[in-house]
Amino acid sequence: MGDETPRTVNLGAPGPDDPVEVLPPGSVVGAFKITANLAAGGGGRVYAAEHRVLSRRAAVKVLHRHLAVQPEMVERFVREAKAVNRIAHPNIVDIYELGVLDDGRPYYVMELIDGSDLATEIRRRGRVSPHDALTWLTPLCDALHAAHQAGVVHRDLKASNVLIGTRDGRQVIKLHDFGIAKLIDPVAGEAPLTTLGRRLGTPYAMAPEQIRGEAVDHRADIYAMGVLVFQLLTGTYPFVAEDPTELEAMHLTQPPPRPSSRAPVAPALEAVVLRCLAKRAADRFPDVPSLLSAYRTALSDEVGAGPTLGLAIHVEAPLDADTSPEAADLVGDALDRIESLLAAAGYTLPLQLAGALLAVRTIPDVSPSPDVGAALGDADAVLRIAGEDAPRWTVVVHVDRFQLRAGKPFSGPLLQISSWVTGVSPGVTLTQAARGRLAPTG
């Protein structure tokens, strides 16, 4: 990243010859060319871009015109880039370049993550099992701890700021948007950007001390992590109100609701969430590793719990003794891609053979179940990966009970494939158990 600090210029009202707010495809930003307009938020607009020489794909964030005339917003934009580079963690979106457009708007170039975000995933799936949540929380906690170790408090940790993508066939989790991050140990000569009494953050995830405009430290992020874990385990926020003032009052004065009042959550895990949501920072976990360790310990206490309801997808490719080595290689490549697809969708894969696989995930014990409809979408995606040979593949969707051990499928009728993958035809098949929980259409 270059050393030049973006300057603030008087943009004024846009005239007929002024650059437009939205950069059209083909616009040049530093060494990159804009290829698409991705999204806009309160602080700026994000574009997809490509390096003009190396063809490297990236994302470009440009500060809004009306903010680029405010020195504090420009400085905050610059410090976001500096904070990210100060942390330098693989689970934090990297920033490559910082610069200024011809009209004075600052921009930075960052890595592009193909995928969605955790908020989208929660809307799609609803609440998830504690073990599924751990697959997201582990890399997220690693990133957050690295930020705290580097003297950076995120202050806006929420599901929409956690990106979920794939890279080299593996799921990647990336924390981003350090736009209101606080440097606990600022670089010499840098003055703080905010003063006591000014509130920054998202109301539904702000710690009480943030709402009061007091000085915050890393424990404000632990409060926000408690909100996020609550949301993952129950599908809802701990406090909900249409009026932001009322919502803030809840965070300040009301005891946090027990997750078990919204969903089946074990007492040990509930205690972890409630400690994160303590009103006093001193009563929360002292750091992120302590939080994550307590979460894992709570999960290990569930080993003796009863069977849980699960959703399974069994995929089998048309391999036989007459299959050529070339065809077998193509099937293997397709199965590798299917494994990555299902893993990114939250499934674990307890069985992976040369020509078949079994993918399993826990689902809420409700009927009708939106998860069965989502599994049908996953099954269709499997056949799309199979390509021209798809009419010969079999994909079976089933619902039944199974037992977890150490967070992994261990036993139970759901794992007894021979009892439900019988006499099926090529294509997608729903077993009677799965069809019985399918939400009606129309």
The DSSP 8-state label assigned to residue 306 in this structure reads P
Q: Is 101 helix (H, G, I), strand (E, B) or coil?
A: coil
Cβ 313 vs Cβ 342: under 8 Å? yes
User: Which is the catalytic residue, given 117, 132, 142, 156?
Assistant: 156
Sheet holding 106-110, edge to edge: 28-29, 32-40, 44-51, 57-63, 106-110, 95-100
Alpha helices in 194-259 (DSSP H): 208-211, 219-234, 244-253
Q: How far is Cα 253 from Cα 286, in angstroms, rounded to an integer?
A: 22
Cα dihedral value 94, 100, 102, 105, nearest 10: 90
Catalytic site residue 283?
A: no
- DSSP notation for 355-409: SEEEEEEE--S-SSBHHHHHHHHHHHHHHHHHGGGGGG-EEEEEEEEEEEETTEE
Q: Which two tokens stand for residue 285?
A: 């976990």
Secondary structure (DSSP) of 107-146: EEEE----EEEHHHHHHHH-S--HHHHHHHHHHHHHHHHH
Half-sphere exposure of 235 (CA within 13 A, CB side): 13
Rounded Cα distance between 8 and 349, Å, is: 53
The token pair that represents 234 in the structure block? 């129950």
CA 174 to chain centre: 7
Q: Which residues is 22 bridged to in the sheet?
A: none
d(CA 258, CA 262) in angstroms, rounded, equals 8
205: helix, strand or coil: helix
Q: Are 398 and 418 in contact (CB under 8 A)?
A: no
Q: What is the rounded distance in angstroms from the CA atom of residue 47 to the CA atom of residue 1?
A: 19
H or E element at residue 94: none
Residues involved in catalysis: 156
